[in-house]
Amino acid sequence: MKPHPPAGPHGEQAFLESLYVALGTATGGAAAPGAGELLRRGVGDDAAVFAGPRADEAYVVSTDSMNEGVHFRLAWAPPRQVGAKLIAVSVSDVIAMGAVPRFGLLNLAAPRVSGADGGRGPTDLLWEIFLGASAAAARYGVTLIGGDTTATAAGLALASTVIGVGPSDRLLFRSGARPGDALFVSGELGAAATGLWLLEMDLDRRMRLLDRAPELKDAIDRQLCPDLSDELELGPALARDRLATAMMDISDGLATDLRSLCAASRVGALVDVGALPRSPAAVSAGRLGCPIEASALCGGEDYRLLFSARPAATAALALLPRPPVRIGVMTSPEDGIVFAREGKPLNGDLFGYDAFPCAVHPES
C-alpha cells in the first residue's frame, strides 16, 4: 500500500541522486579500502553486485523497507500476507538483475504494546509476519539466514534483504539500453493501484463492487502481495540467454521507473499507451470509476519487469512460455520520454510514487 500523491522529480529522486553523488558513481560506488576487489556494481540499480564464489558468478544484494501506515495497514492485510510481501519486494529486485534469489534476512520491529490486530502482543504479531515471510521465501527458493528484531515507538517497521546469485558477465543493469531497442513489460499493469483504489473506499461500497465484479478481488490480492512466479523464471532467463539489454522492476509505477531506466542508459523512450497490458480486474474497475490509464502508467507495486531488447531478440521473446508485451521503443535522449495514444502524445508530465513529494519545487 503506497498512496500516490502528485510528485515530480524533486522529491525522492533528487534525494537519491544526491546520495549517488555522495557514494560515488553507480558503477562502483565509493569503495572502502579493499572493497574494490569485491564490488562489481554499487548504487544506481535494483541491487548491488559483489564478486561471487567463482569467477563466473556474482552475488546480487537488495534490501527493502515496509512501514505500517505507508506500505500496508493491518486493517487490510493479515500479518502473514504482510510478511509474504516483505520477501517478494526484495526478490523482485534480485530477479530484475537477472539473478536467482538464494538467501534472505529479515528485520522486524513492533511497538512494545500493540493495539492492532485484535490486541495481540508484539511477538505474536511478529511471529505471524515471520511465518508469512518464511512461506514466501520457500516459494521463491530463498533460505532465511538471519536478521534482527527490536521495538518501535509506534507502528511496525519491517525490512528484508535478499541475496541472489547470477552469471557475472550476463547480469542486467539499467544502463544497457540503446536507441532502437524495443521496450517490454513482463505482464499486466495497474492491478495493484486498482487494489489500492478499492481498499481505500469504505467497506460497504467495496463489498458492493466486489459483488458486481468478483474479479476485482485479484486486484486487491496484487496490492496486498504480488505473485512473482512468472518474473522468477523470466528475469534469470533474459540474462542467461542475453535477450535483454537493460532491466529493472516496476515498483514505483511505469512513468517513474522508465525515467530511471532512461536516465541510466542515457536514452529516451516512446511508449504506446494503447499497448499497455491491463488485468481483467483493472478493466472492470475502469468501468466502475477507477482511473485505469493512470493506474497502468502511474500506479506502483505491480512488480513487473521493465526491460529493453535488441530488435533481433523479438522473435525469441515471443517463443517464451509467457511472452512479454512490447509497449514501445527506446529513442535518442534528445527526444525525451513520450507517452502517446494513437500516435498523439499525452498532455502533462506523468510520475508514479514518490516517497518524499515536494509541495513546492525548488525553482518555484
List the CATH number of the domain containing 341.
Answer: 3.90.650.10
C-alpha cell at 117: 490486530
Q: Who wins on pLDDT, 25 or 169?
A: 169
Residue 199 shares a structural domain with residue 341: yes
CB 292 within 8 A of CB 286: yes
207 Cβ contact partners less than 8 Å away, ≥ 6 residues apart: none
Give percent above pLDDT 70 in the chain.
84
Alpha carbon distance, N-terminus to C-terminus of the chain: 30
pLDDT for 362: 32
Mark whether 42 and 123 lie in a shared domain: yes
Kindly state whether residues 253 and 339 are assigned to the same domain. yes
Let me know whether 289 and 313 are in one domain.
Answer: yes
Has residue 71 been placed in a domain?
yes
CA separation for the pair 86, 90 (Å, rounded): 7
CATH number of the domain enclosing 120: 3.30.1330.10
Amino acid, single-letter form, for residue 201:
M
CA angle 36, 177, 345 (to 5 degrees): 135
| CB of 49 closer than 8 Å to CB of 175 | no
Q: Are residues 195 and 52 in the same domain?
A: no
pLDDT band at 351; cut points 50, 70, 90: low
Q: Please give the pLDDT value at position 120.
A: 66
How sure is the predictor about 241, in pLDDT bands with cuts at 50, 70 and 90? Answer: very high
Q: What is the pLDDT of residues 35-87, one digit of tens each?
A: 667 877 777 788 889 888 888 999 999 999 999 998 999 999 999 999 999 99
Instruction: Report the C-alpha gap between 227 and 325 in whole angstroms.
Output: 18
User: Do 222 and 319 fall within a single domain?
Assistant: yes
Among 167, 195, 221, residue at a domain's last position: 167
Is 130 found in the same domain as 224? no
Checking if the pLDDT of 2 tops 60, the result is no
User: Quick one: how far is CA 167 from the chain centroid?
Assistant: 22
Listed residues 144, 167, 190: the one ending a domain: 167
Q: What is the mean pLDDT of residues 142-150?
A: 96
Give the length of the chain.
364
| CA–CA dist 191, 203 (Å, integer) | 19
pLDDT band at 121 (very low <50, low <70, confident <90, very high): confident
The answer as to whether 354 is a domain residue is: no
Yes or no: say if 303 and 88 are a contact pair by the CB < 8 Å rule.
yes
- In angstroms, rounded to a whole number, what is the distance separating the alpha carbons of residues 83 and 77? 10
Mean pLDDT on 2-29? 56
What pLDDT is recorded for position 292?
84
Q: Is 26 helix (H, G, I), strand (E, B) or coil?
A: coil
Tell me 91's DSSP state. Answer: H
Q: Does residue 226 share a domain with residue 100?
A: no
| Confidence class for position 163, pLDDT limits 50, 70, 90 | very high
pLDDT 10s digits, 318-348: 999 999 999 999 999 999 999 999 989 987 6
> What integer pLDDT is reported at residue 145 of this predicted model?
98
Rounded mean pLDDT of the chain? 87
Residue 26 above 80 pLDDT? no
| 185-239 pLDDT per residue, tens | 999 999 999 999 999 999 999 999 999 999 999 999 999 999 999 999 999 999 9
pLDDT of residue 34: 55
Q: Is the per-residue pLDDT at 356 higher than 60?
A: no
How far, CA to CA in Å, does 290 sit from each of 187, 212, 287, 322?
Answer: 20, 14, 7, 27
Q: Name, in order, each residue with C-beta under 8 angstroms of 226's C-beta and a sequence gap of 6 or more.
A: 85, 88, 89, 92, 192, 301, 302, 303
- Averaged over 146-167, what is the pLDDT? 95
Q: What is the C-alpha to C-alpha distance for residues 164 and 98, in angstroms, rounded to an integer?
A: 9
Strands (E), the chain: 39-41, 48-51, 57-67, 100-111, 143-152, 157-167, 182-185, 246-250, 268-272, 304-309, 325-331, 337-341, 344-345
- Segment 115-120 mean pLDDT: 55
Cell of 327: 509497449
Q: In which domain, by residue range, is 288 found? A: 182-345
Tell me, yes or no, whether 148 and 45 share the same domain: yes
- Kindly state whether residue 360 falls inside one of the protein's structural domains: no
Overall domain count for the chain: 2
363 or 62, which is more confident: 62
> Is residue 264 included in any domain, yes or no?
yes
Contact 86, 162 (CB under 8 A): no
Pairing of strands 100-111, 157-167: antiparallel
**24-51 per-residue burial string, b: 16 or more CB within 10 A, e: under 16:** eebbbbeeeeeeeeebbbbbbbbbbbbe
Q: Are residues 148 and 229 in the same domain?
A: no
**Range of lowest pLDDT (78-87, 106-115, 151-160, 308-317):** 106-115
**Do residues 105 and 206 share a domain?**
no
Residue 323 lies in a domain: yes
pLDDT at 28: 41
Q: Identify whether 7 is part of a domain.
A: no
Among 167, 191, 221, which residue terminates a domain?
A: 167
Residue 101 pLDDT grade (very low, low, confident, very high; cuts 50, 70, 90): very high
- State pLDDT tens for residues 260-289: 999 999 999 999 999 999 988 989 999 998
